[in-house]
Every structure is written in C-alpha cells, then in structure tokens.
Structure 1
Amino acid sequence: MKMIGLIGGMSWESSAEYYRLINEGVRSRLGPTASARCVLWSFNFAEIEELQHAGDWSRLTERMVEAARRLEDAGVDMLLICTNTMHRMAADVEAAVSVPLLHIADPTAESLKAAGIKRVGLLGTAFTMEHDFYRGRLSEKHGLEVIVPGSEDRAEVHRIIYEELVAGKIVPASRVAYRAVISRLVEHGAEAVILGCTEIMLLVGAEDSSVPLFDTTSLHAAAATQMAMSS
C-alpha cells in the first residue's frame, strides 16, 4: 500500500472527513483491522484564511510548497491537497516535488462524465467559484460546461463556509439557503452540482437537490484510496 500525504487543516473539519473516508475505503477492501498508511500536515487555518482574504497568494504558495516538501521528506508516495480553494497553487506544488499530486477536480470530472453530465453547477468559496484555476480545469481538460451562482448567491455561499462550516457550525437556515442556491442553478440548466468546497458535504446531501450532487471530498478520498492500493 502506498503512503498518502495529506495537506490538511483547511479546515480540520473536512480533513477529519478525509481521514475517515480514506480509512473506511481501505478497511472495506482489506478487512476490519486494516487502515491507511498516511501522513497529515495540518495548517492553522486562521493563518491561511487571513492570507486568502488579503490576496497574498504568493505567501500561500510558499506555505503549500513547504508542506508538500516536508511530506515528501517524510516518505509519502502521493499527495492530496485537502481543499478545493488551495488547488489554485496545485501546479506550483506539483512542480516542487517528485511524487504525484492527485488533483481534486479530476476524479470529480471523471465521475460527472461517467454519469453523462455535461453542464454542471459549481458551489465553493468565492475564490473557487470566481477564479479560473478550478473552472478552467473542468472545462479545458474535461470538456464540462460550468455555471456558478449569481453574485448575491456566491457571497452567501462563501459567508456560510467561512463563518459556519469551517467552525463546525451546522445551521438549518443555511441548509435552506443552499437548497435555494442549488435550485437556481438547476433553473439555469445545471444537470448536476459540484460541492466544490470540502466542508459543504457537512451541510447538504442528496435530499437537498433535485439533481445529483457530486461531493469533491468523498470523490477525492475514494480516488486516493484507489491510487494508494494500486500496484
């Protein structure tokens, strides 16, 4: 079994889900006492969040590259960035190490294509919804048409992530708000919706949408498990 390197703590709420899902995946394949070989580098998300909202992506890139190199030095065979937003610097991280980086958008896109989905809505932080590093990969590499919510909806989706979900707060009114945003994406032609922030799966599920939801956390973790167990 390959050793998985996890760059997490962004936030630890979703990193804990990665750890659970990867270990459950290994156990289901190898038996009840089996667990994953993994190393977790966990950031203080307060520091990361401050740099994100200050727009200091250069410093963030330095921090991510440092984490990746430390994990490589620890002997990992592959890397995961356990957050969608910080894939903004995925290319820099990949270039800084010799072990492969499993990009979060790729298993999500493959699942969408396998389901015959061509036009998909995207929820996530404002950075993920508004910048091109994520949408561009989905469209240019995988041929998907990506639509995002309107400006007011994007602001509310972002607020709920940073004020509630990363702090472990599950607010019923916010679930209602997300349902409404999803509904409006469907009205604009979304055949499915990507939960493109690793904490969103803590708030909404299949029952909250009239179209399929593709949870990046679960899909990324499942792909990591498969990769770790491949020869």
Structure 2
Amino acid sequence: MKTIGLIGGTSWHSTIVYYKLINEMVGETIGTQGNPELLIYSINIEIMRAQDAEKINNKYLEASLKLQESGAEALVICANTPHMAYKFVQPRIDIPILHIADATGKEAIRLGVGKVGLLGNKPTMTKGFIPELLKDNYGIETIIPQGEALEKSHFYVSRELTQGRFTDEARTFFLDQISQLKARGAEAVVLGCTELPILISPESSDIPLLATTDLHARMAADFILGNS
C-alpha cells in the first residue's frame, strides 16, 4: 500500500472523520487485520481565522514538505477551505496533492450533473478554488447562496460546525438553502464543509448531496490501494 500524508487540524473534528473514513475504506479491501500507514500534520486552526493568504500558503507548504520528507507519496488536505493554498503549494513539492474538487467533480460527472450549488464558509464559496476547478476540469457550473445567506452560511460553518456545535437552527438554515439552490437550477448540492455531512443527511434532500469529505476520503483510499 502507498503512504499518504494528511494535513489536518482545520478543524480537528474533520481530521478525525478523514482518518476514520480512510481506514474503513481501505479495510473494505484488505480486511480488518491491518490498516494503512498514514502520516498526520495537524495545523492550528487559528491560522485560517486570520485570513492571511501568505501565512496560510507558507504554513501549508511547510506541512507538505515535512510530510514529503517523512515518506508521504501523496497529500490530502483534510478540509475544503485550505485548498486555497493548493496553487501555491503544489508546484513547490514533488508529490501530488489529491484535490477535493477533483473528487467532487468526478462524482458529479458520474451522476450526470452539470450545475451544482455550493455550501460552506465564505472563502470556500467565493474564492474560486473549488468552482474554478469544477468548471475548468469538468465543465460544471457552480452557484452559491445570495445576499445575507452567504454571511449566515459562513457564520454557521466557522463559528459552530468547525467547533463541534450542530444545532437544529443551523440544520434548518442549510436545508432551506438547498431548496433555494435547487429552485435556481442546481441539480446537486456540494457540502463544501467537512462537518456539513454530520449536520445534514442525504435522506433530508430530494436532490443529490455531494459530501466532499466522503468523496475525498475515497480518492485517498483508492490512491493507497493503487486504484487511482
């Protein structure tokens, strides 16, 4: 099996989910008598809250180089928002970063989806590092919440979900946003926050919900097993 490095900590809750899913998915093939070798670098989430792009880029480069030097053959960033550092980091290291939007785009294509809604925090929805890759690599259009809902989505993700708080109020808000995105033409909705699938189940929506965490973890498991 190949060794991958996980860059986690943003949040640590999501890192646990990634670790669990990757082990379970690899276990589907190798059984429960063993498990993959994983390297983890856990970053302090405070660096994301400062919203200093240069510091974020340099920190993720530092983490990537340390994991590469430690034997990682590929990297997985265990959250959506830190993928903003991908364009800076990838050209400066010698191993691939498995991009969360590639995992999402491939599933959307499999489902025959050409237009998706995107939910998450404000940088994930507006910075372009997910919508641009979906458009350029898969021809998929992305729409996001409008007006006040954009700020409200950011609040729930950054101040509640990433801190392990899952409230009925937040669940009601995101289910309403899914309905609104569908009304605007979305054929599926990307849950662009690692904790969103914990809050919202697929059964609660009448259009597909693309849980980026699950899809990304599957991409990692496939790489470990040599299936990619």
TM-score range, shorter chain: over 0.9
| Counterpart code for 1:86 | P
Identity among equivalent positions (%) equals: 38
**Which of these residues, 85, 93, 96, is aligned with residue 97 of structure 1?**
93
Q: How far does residue 50 in structure 1 lie from its aligned partner after superposition?
A: 2.9
C-alpha distance in 1 between matches for 2:154 and 2:162: 11
Structure 1: 4+ residue segments shifted above 2 A: none
Which region of structure 1 is more displaced relative to structure 2, 14-23 or 160-169?
A: 160-169
Aligned residues: 227
CA RMSD of aligned residues (A): 1.1
Q: How far does residue 173 in structure 1 lie from its aligned partner after superposition?
A: 1.4
C-alpha distance in 1 between matches for 2:176 and 2:9: 29
**Which of these residues, 151, 157, 169, is aligned with residue 153 of structure 2?**
157
CA deviations 1:44-78 (Å, max 9, x no partner) are: 11x223322xxx10111000000000101111111
Matches within 5 A, 1:1-231: 1-45=1-45, 47-52=46-51, 56-230=52-226
Contact 2:8 2:43 in 1 (8 A): yes
Please give the secondary structure, in 1, of the residue aligned with 2:6. strand
In the superposition, the TM-score normalised over structure 1's length comes to 0.95
Runs of 5+ unmatched residues, structure 1: none
C-alpha distance in 2 between matches for 1:101 and 1:50: 23
Contact 2:47 2:55 in 1 (8 A): no
Contact 1:9 1:44 in 2 (8 A): yes
C-alpha distance in 1 between matches for 2:158 and 2:198: 13
Which region of structure 1 is more displaced relative to structure 2, 84-93 or 12-21?
A: 84-93
C-alpha distance in 2 between matches for 1:140 and 1:73: 31
CA deviations 1:85-113 (Å, max 9, x no partner) are: 11111022111211111011001100000
CA deviations 1:176-199 (Å, max 9, x no partner) are: 111001110011111000001112
| Counterpart code for 1:140 | D
C-alpha distance in 2 between matches for 1:65 and 1:228: 22
Q: How far does residue 151 in structure 1 lie from its aligned partner after superposition?
A: 2.1
Runs of 5+ unmatched residues, structure 2: none
